[in-house]
Structure 1
């Protein structure tokens, strides 16, 4: 179970993130806070695995959260949730010790994927990927809209169609096998198929 705490002063956004993550069987939301000071007070007596933090907050902003968390609770991983696709801000966050930087406009599955990979300690990030993770021309937009498939899910579906097993897909995409299995389960649900044969057939129909 991955224990998570979230700090974001936009209550509607925070509530949406909380609801999204609570749908995952291996995620447990331990607390949601409006600023970094409240978060830090909570962490004193309530250890978590992952902290998700907004950049702009009153009293203590995202950079303050990164610094304080890494100094006082070095085992906790910090993921920044930001609306800024800015190299300077990204570099500052990573320099302070942030483990990942996710744009607020990203596909929800990207955040879920990032949390799992950061928790497992095998997450490697490139700022160019952060900026352009939603702009992959290999996957037509109408498939994303019709089936609500994320870029990562379409990528995995293509590899399944090409005959790759979960372990092989994990190696190709530098993911954990658990993450691939989780994505694959969601692909089955979104496409309404119950077997690998049906899944491959649908991928062929989609001309992936």
Structure 2
């Protein structure tokens, strides 16, 4: 039996997934969490094999939460289940320690296959996503830039794109404010822009907000 903990801030998603897997003989939903506080409390008490986690779960930035989870619970597999842009976030979450990434547009069969593969010690992304990660569809596609960005740079870019100031970004990611400024400079250089307006346009093209 694979013990799964669902971490998603949408009640209908938590209820829906619980209902879908209720009759599954191989998967047991051991709990659901709506925030990162609930998630980390349940990790200790419920001891899941896999956490099925939404990127935008409240309180702690998704990738930051993922890093902390993998640091404190190394043997727990994490499957990111998200509506965020796959080409950008799949690679970032895998770098940060996730064992798989599935879009919320995917079928239940794909989700089940991902859980099974991670439970067996593997990693999971769909074939379609693997192909999109491997090849650019054209040299002018804005998505090509995401491969130049580190996981931390993507985190900073997303938070800036949502209107946060340097100080707020620093507090959320537990960085020094000067470090955030350094990341901004790197982002502008890597995205070939020289001002915040153009940088945020790139963020929009990458579907970061």
Same fold, TM exceeding 0.5? Answer: yes
Whose relative contact order is higher, 1 or 2, with alpha carbons under 8 Å and at least 6 apart?
A: 2
What SS does structure 1 have at the residue aligned with 2:31? strand
Who is 2:104 aligned against? 104
What SS does structure 1 have at the residue aligned with 2:39? helix
Kindly report the root-mean-square deviation, in angstroms, between the aligned alpha carbons of the 2 structures. Answer: 1.9
Who is 1:9 aligned against? 9
- Give the distance between the partners of 2:127 and 2:68, measured in 1 at CA: 23
Q: How does 1:26-175 map to 2 (within 5 A)?
A: 26-125=26-125, 128-129=128-129
- TM-score (norm. length: structure 1): 0.59
Gaps of 5+ in 2: 133-209
Superimposed CA distance per residue, residues 158-182 of structure 1 (whole angstroms, 9 cap, x where no aligned partner): xxxxxxxxxxxxxxxxxxxxxxxxx
Q: 1:23 aligned to 2:23?
A: yes
| Contact map agreement 2:8 2:53 (CA 8 A) in 1 | yes
- TM-score (norm. length: structure 2): 0.58
| Contact map agreement 1:94 1:100 (CA 8 A) in 2 | yes
- Give the distance between the partners of 2:33 and 2:124, measured in 1 at CA: 27
| Contact map agreement 1:103 1:130 (CA 8 A) in 2 | no
What SS does structure 2 have at the residue aligned with 1:45? helix
- Give the distance between the partners of 2:97 and 2:52, measured in 1 at CA: 13
Q: Which region of structure 1 is more displaced relative to structure 2, 13-22 or 73-82? A: 13-22
Gaps of 5+ in 1: 133-208
| Contact map agreement 2:86 2:129 (CA 8 A) in 1 | no
